[in-house]
Chain A
Amino acid sequence: MSKFQFPESILSRPVYGTLAPRPGKSHLMIADAEGAEALLELADRDENLMANSHIIYLPKDTGDTYVDRLRAAGPNQLYVGPSFAAATQRIRHVLGQAHMGLQVYLTGTEGLIGQAMNEATAVGIPHTAIQTEHRGSVARRMQCVHCKGITEDVTTDPFVCGHCGLNLFVRDHYSRRLAAFQGVCIDAEDPGNVPEPQELYS
């Protein structure tokens, strides 16, 4: 599956790369949905990598599509879970026990990458040392700057805040700490004048 080409944007908008093997004694890989493809491509590049890897995989809508192939790639540990929230305890446990030199690889949706990155940076891994590769949905996690609520899986601009109901426009300004883009009221200066929602990146 081809990777989405994000248009060039402002400097606070995250830019994703391509996962590459890095020296280290152990490797932690966290992926959702089509992110599995990036992990499989990574495994192809270095057959020794998987032997020391712990994969945490959240298939979401892809169901069983990738699970067997991930298992066949030979990771030391493989966890297949229903959601990031369910996996959080496990992720924190692994990070809490880890030593310096752990390599972290994140791939899949922006929301997964952002939230997993926060878990890693919370234990002291600099965000610049964490590899990321985007795959799959381009839906965004959006924070409403007014009520602070986060709305998941936003695919249109504007959209309605899932918490307070304001009509918000989508900014590219992104907070690593919140793992979300910023949404701002679109009709503050002309209440009720809300443009037709357009698909993101259309």
Chain B
Amino acid sequence: MTIQFNEETFRDDYSFRNSDWAIKRFPFPFHEDSYMYSVNMEQHRGGPAGSVYEKRFDVDEHYVSEMRDRALVLDDDPLRCQSLPHMTLAGWDTLELIMVSKSEDYPDLFELHRDGDQWHWINRPMGIEQKFTFLDETTLPCGPLEYITRQAQGDFAVLDQRDEMLWMDAGMITTQADWSLDFDIGMNFFEWHAPVPLAHEMGIFKRALKFLLNIQQGAPARRLNWTMTVNPLLDTSPENYHKWGIQKTQMTPETIGAKQHLRVELQTFYRLPRSNALLFPIRCYLIAFQDLTTIPKWGRRLHRVIRDLPEELATYKGFIDNRPMMLDYLSQFDDGQPTSPGIWPDLASEPALKK
């Protein structure tokens, strides 16, 4: 499949743009006109052709530029990628999973040749060619987790499974929605989710944990999560919050359409074979309000979701102060007409905006 890779930035001049293709396949997360937490898991076994759900690790037009941004984040702060000593085997499992998946799903872009433990990897978009010995760290320029996730979009948390619990013991985290790997590494499932309001009382995490502990090899799962970001900034880390936080206050009614982005995480869950760990990729997709609202159903629905969202959630997701301005903008795209259930754009069947 031929993808035209963008030359764009996710910082400074923010030249990031979504093509029409990217807009139409955007993983809109709301299946109804309101939002509350749920354990919204389903099997990760393909999806409609061309959708972000089709391939195991979706590659899109932002691939090359996202990887460049990751490299910049890591140069500035290597602590964004860490692996506790017992997690190296899980790192190898992750490398194998990503290399095998990408070379099978995108044969024009990636190749993997294996002769026993002598592997040969080719990544055409990034111009990388590497020969190495599987399970031998001395034959790669850096640890296996870091090596492969520098070539895969989205964050990757690697969770050790011990004592009926999951532990965040390794990760590559450079596109996170405001949490710190360096701080959270070593925490268990309930601990790293501790700051999330309401969900614990609802029993969400107990149910989610039970589901995740029982994910088996060959049966991955997925779910969507979302938040808001001002500017297409991937690195919204706590580490740099003292630098990027101010951007949240710099939107105006004239600029909000271009600057305010819905940020959706496509989270997948894979049981890793040799380590029995759980791989938790968190793939981040951004879309500007002015692009999202070109899809009539999504414009209507987003207005209603944001309007009716409980205050604690809007506060936790960091946009409580901008909510009034967001609603002023989005209300232009909500004509009160009904929306169909489900997340798809349904362009053929949804009525055009009546204003």
In the complex they form, whether A and B have CB atoms below 8 Å apart is answered with yes
Residues of chain A at the chain B interface (Cβ within 8 Å): 10-13, 143, 145-146, 148, 166, 171-173, 175-178, 182, 184-185, 188-191
Partner of B191, one of A11, A171, A185, A191: A11
Stretch at the interface among B99-107, B112-120, B244-252: B244-252
Residues on B with C-beta less than 8 A from A177 are 185-186
Q: From residue B158, how far is it (CB to closest CB) to chain A in Å?
A: 16
Question: Among B79, B193, B195, B242, which residue has the most Cβ atoms of chain A within 10 A?
Answer: B242
Nearest Cβ on chain B to A141's Cβ, whole angstroms:
13
Interface centre among A148, A177, A185, A189 (most CB of B within 10 A): A189
List the B side residues contacting A10 at CB < 8 Å. 194-195
Chain B: interface residue total (CB-CB under 8 A) = 27
Interface pairs (5), CB distance under 8 Å: A173-B183, A182-B238, A185-B242, A185-B245, A189-B245
Whether B239 pairs with A146 at a CB distance below 8 angstroms is yes
**In the bound complex, how far is the Cα of B53 from the Cα of A181, in angstroms?**
38
Known: A145-B238, A184-B238, A188-B241. A11 touches B190 (CB 8 A): yes
Bound state CA distance, A146 and B239, in angstroms? 4
**15 additional contacts (CB under 8 A) given A12-B191, A175-B183:** A10-B194, A11-B191, A145-B180, A145-B238, A166-B242, A172-B194, A173-B195, A175-B184, A176-B187, A182-B180, A185-B241, A188-B242, A188-B243, A189-B246, A189-B321
Chain A residue numbers with a CB within 8 Å of B321 are 189
Chain B 69-83 interface 0/1 with A at a Cβ cutoff of 8 Å (1 = within): 000000000010000
Residue on A nearest B185 in the bound complex, by CB: A177
Given contacts A145-B238, A146-B239, A184-B241, contact A11 B183 (CB under 8 A): no
Q: Which residues of B contact A185 (CB under 8 A)?
A: 241-242, 245
Contact (A12, B194) CB under 8 Å given A146-B241, A185-B241, A191-B246: yes
* Chain A residue contacts of B243, Cβ below 8 A: 188
User: For the complex, what is the distance from the CA of A166 to the CA of B238, rounded to whole Å?
Assistant: 13
Residue in A closest to B197 when the chains form the complex, CB atoms: A10
Partner of B246, one of A146, A182, A188: A188
Contact with A along B174-186 (1 / 0, CB 8 A): 0000001011111
B31 contacts the other chain (Cβ, under 8 Å)?
A: no
Cross-interface CB contact of A12 among B180, B192, B248, cutoff 8 Å: B192
* Bound-state Cα–Cα, A66 to B210, Å: 48
B225-261 CB mask vs A (1 if < 8 Å, else 0) is 0000000000000111111111011000000000000
Instruction: Tell whether, in the assembled complex, residue B238 and residue A175 are in contact, meaning their CB atoms are under 8 Å apart.
Output: no
How many whole Å from B19's CB to the nearest CB in chain A? 32
Task: State the CA gap A189–B251 with chains docked (Å).
Answer: 12
Roughly how many angstroms separate A177 CA and B180 CA in the complex, as a whole number?
13
B200 at the binding interface (Cβ < 8 Å)? yes
Shortest distance between the CB of A34 and any CB in chain B (Å):
27
Distance, CA A127 to CA B191, complexed state (A): 14
Whether the Cβ atoms of B194 and A178 lie closer than 8 Å is no
* C-alpha spacing A148/B77, complex, angstroms: 11
Residue among B79, B180, B244, B249 with the highest chain A CB neighbour number at 10 A: B180
